[in-house]
Amino acid sequence: MRPQFTLPISGEQFLAEYWQKKPLVMRNVASGLSHPDADTLAGLALEDEVESRLITGHGNGPWNLQNGPFQDNDFNVLPRENWTLLVQSVDCFLTEVSLLLDRFDFLPSWRLEDIMISYAAKGGSVGPHFDRYDVFLIQASGKRRWKIGGPCDERTALLQHDQLKLLEKMDVREEYVLEAGDALYLPPGIAHWGTAEDSDCITWSVGFRAPSPIEVLGRLADQAAEMGGETLFRDTEREVPARREVLESADIARLTQQAIEALSPSIKRQALAALLSESRCPNGLDFEVDCQQVCAADETAMLVRHGAARLILDAENNAWINGDNWALSEDALPLARLLAKQRLYSDEELQALMTDDGQDLIDEWIDAGYFTWLE
Ligand SMILES: [Mn+2]
């Protein structure tokens, strides 16, 4: 069964009342999350390409962080309780996990980042903290107790720790136990602390892409420089300065304004589509698509997108995958839309939109490893 998640309210209501605003506890909203199990996660954490962490500690600490890749023996010496293994971007390495992202259709696809999965022994936790990103925490198995506090920012007091950013204290405002199939949405900056109530506590964290305005500016500037332009600074309406030795704010405003005007629609579109289509883990493409458990169960499924292939379209009929782009012909466009809108495709869906150009496109993208025919 493929991983499923359904908002218990409409997307409109969620965005208006909760998104980036306040937490939402959702009961019995997810299913099909039985894979990966603990052994599969531990196996991923042995791989060089995979980002993973092992955090031990509980209560008032002490807290300890180890970064992967790990070796078998690291897991053999773990205590019975109070540790958590976190594996980042599992959707890139296990394509079947990426299928859950299709269920977040109340947001544009570029806004999704990745799925981190944590496995905790009883009492395991990453400590009280806040994240800078929105997150959906979906309980896949076992139970986790969530304590939720108030808003935090860079001035919030943290514990002295070299690597972990844990809160010095947390005023608990709400507390919930999430069972398998339940989910918790948290906006950025809200203090939270989740502790495994039993062993085999597996939580999927769906994270979101939120580039900083500084990063966006950098990419816009790079793109503008690459595309060039002959325009120089103009000051037709100048008056004789009262203080010729000063760079006045009026000139700063003119210079900045003209810089922003230099960003043509095409510069903006190309810079941002490239940035937002970049994969968090391009080397995930080295992992063979192993989708049998999930995809094969869906008898109509014919083709699947690799979990590490990040595909978005721009409004000028270009497709962007992992930072590279393709100009789409009118003929190939309907098929490309389908390929970008979802991740698993039936023969019927594909045939309805197939054209010669579409076939060429699919062939090229299969050769590149972005898509795979299912057996
Ligand atoms: Mn968190």
Rounded to the nearest angstrom, the distance between the alpha carbon of 221 and the centre of ligand 1 is 33
Domain boundaries, the chain: 4-208, 213-277, 282-373
Mention every residue, 6+ apart, whose C-beta is less than 8 A from residue 306. 95, 284, 285, 289, 369, 370, 371, 372
Rounded to the nearest angstrom, the distance between the alpha carbon of 137 and the centre of ligand 1 is 8
Residue 190 pLDDT: 96
The per-residue pLDDT for range 171-211, each reduced to its tens digit, is 999 999 999 999 999 999 999 999 999 988 999 999 999 99
Rounded to the nearest angstrom, the distance between the alpha carbon of 212 and the centre of ligand 1 is 19
Two structure tokens written together for 340: 């970008």
Residue 293 pLDDT: 66
Rounded to the nearest angstrom, the distance between the alpha carbon of 348 and the centre of ligand 1 is 41
Rounded to the nearest angstrom, the distance between the alpha carbon of 192 and the centre of ligand 1 is 7
pTM for this entry: 0.94
Residue 343 pLDDT: 96
Rounded to the nearest angstrom, the distance between the alpha carbon of 142 and the centre of ligand 1 is 18
Give 127's Cβ-side CA count (13 Å radius). Answer: 21
Rounded to the nearest angstrom, the distance between the alpha carbon of 363 and the centre of ligand 1 is 40
Rounded to the nearest angstrom, the distance between the alpha carbon of 290 and the centre of ligand 1 is 29
Rounded to the nearest angstrom, the distance between the alpha carbon of 256 and the centre of ligand 1 is 38
Rounded to the nearest angstrom, the distance between the alpha carbon of 188 and the centre of ligand 1 is 9
Residue 140 pLDDT: 98
23 neighbors 14 (Cβ within 8 angstroms):
no
Rounded to the nearest angstrom, the distance between the alpha carbon of 357 and the centre of ligand 1 is 44
Q: In the chain, which stretches have pLDDT less than 70?
A: 292-293, 296-297
Residue 115 pLDDT: 98
Rounded to the nearest angstrom, the distance between the alpha carbon of 282 and the centre of ligand 1 is 24
Architecture category of domain 4-208 in CATH: Sandwich (2.60)
CA–CA gap between residue 102 and residue 110 (Å, rounded): 12
Mention every residue, 6+ apart, whose C-beta is less than 8 A from residue 365. 309, 321, 339, 371
The per-residue pLDDT for range 72-83, each reduced to its tens digit, is 999 999 989 999
CATH domain 282-373 topology: Malonyl-Coenzyme A Acyl Carrier Protein; domain 2 (3.40.366)
Cα 37 from chain centre: 21
Residue 300 pLDDT: 84
Cα three-residue angle 64-67-72, rounded to 5 degrees: 100
Rounded to the nearest angstrom, the distance between the alpha carbon of 364 and the centre of ligand 1 is 39
Rounded to the nearest angstrom, the distance between the alpha carbon of 368 and the centre of ligand 1 is 35
Residue 282 pLDDT: 87
Rounded to the nearest angstrom, the distance between the alpha carbon of 122 and the centre of ligand 1 is 18
Rounded to the nearest angstrom, the distance between the alpha carbon of 28 and the centre of ligand 1 is 21
Rounded to the nearest angstrom, the distance between the alpha carbon of 39 and the centre of ligand 1 is 23
